[in-house]
């Protein structure tokens, strides 16, 4: 029953946000991570200084996971996760350090994941764990 509700909500959201692939992808990634045992504790976390943003922060067991979501309309230009370059990783690290410090979580108990999504029917979702340090 809840699956039916999610599918209906997805259909409405896709119509309303037709051009906003990022928002649709983050919604899909959020649900995907929850379905795979993660507890999502924050979405779109931004540092007070504005120096970085994390799409999703979640717990997987004893590990605090910082998730970057990359969404594409098609695979025409390559895998979505290829868009996470060194500069993006640096911004993610800054934001993650800020979040971990505020949440009083040891840096050793954190990791960085990427969820790549290619929108289609159905969407293709690829969860890459511990992709950089």
Residue pLDDT, tens place only, 51-71: 889 999 999 999 999 999 999
Q: Cis peptide leading into 122, omega within 30 of 0?
A: yes
pTM score, two decimals? 0.84
Taken in order of first residue, the domains within the chain and their CATH numbers are 21-132 (3.40.1350.10)
Q: State the pLDDT confidence band at 40, using cuts at 50, 70 and 90.
A: very high
Query: What pLDDT does residue 81 have?
Result: 87
The b/e string for 95-109 (b: 16+ C-beta within 10 A; e otherwise) is bbebbbeeeebeeee
Residue pLDDT, tens place only, 86-98: 999 999 999 999 9
């Amino acid at each position: 029953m809840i699956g039916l509700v999610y599918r209906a909500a997805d259909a409405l959201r896709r119509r309303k946000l037709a051009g906003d692939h990022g928002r649709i992808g983050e919604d899909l990634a959020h649900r995907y991570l929850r379905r795979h045992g993660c507890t999502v504790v924050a979405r779109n976390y931004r540092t007070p200084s504005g120096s970085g943003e994390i799409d999703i922060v979640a717990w997987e067991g004893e590990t605090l996971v910082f998730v970057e979501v990359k969404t594409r309309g098609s695979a025409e230009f390559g895998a979505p996760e290829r868009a996470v370059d060194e500069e993006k990783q640096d911004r993610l690290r800054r934001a993650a350090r800020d979040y971990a410090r505020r949440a009083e979580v040891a840096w050793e108990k954190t990791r960085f994941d990427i969820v790549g999504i290619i929108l289609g029917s159905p969407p293709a979702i690829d969860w890459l764990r511990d992709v950089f340090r």
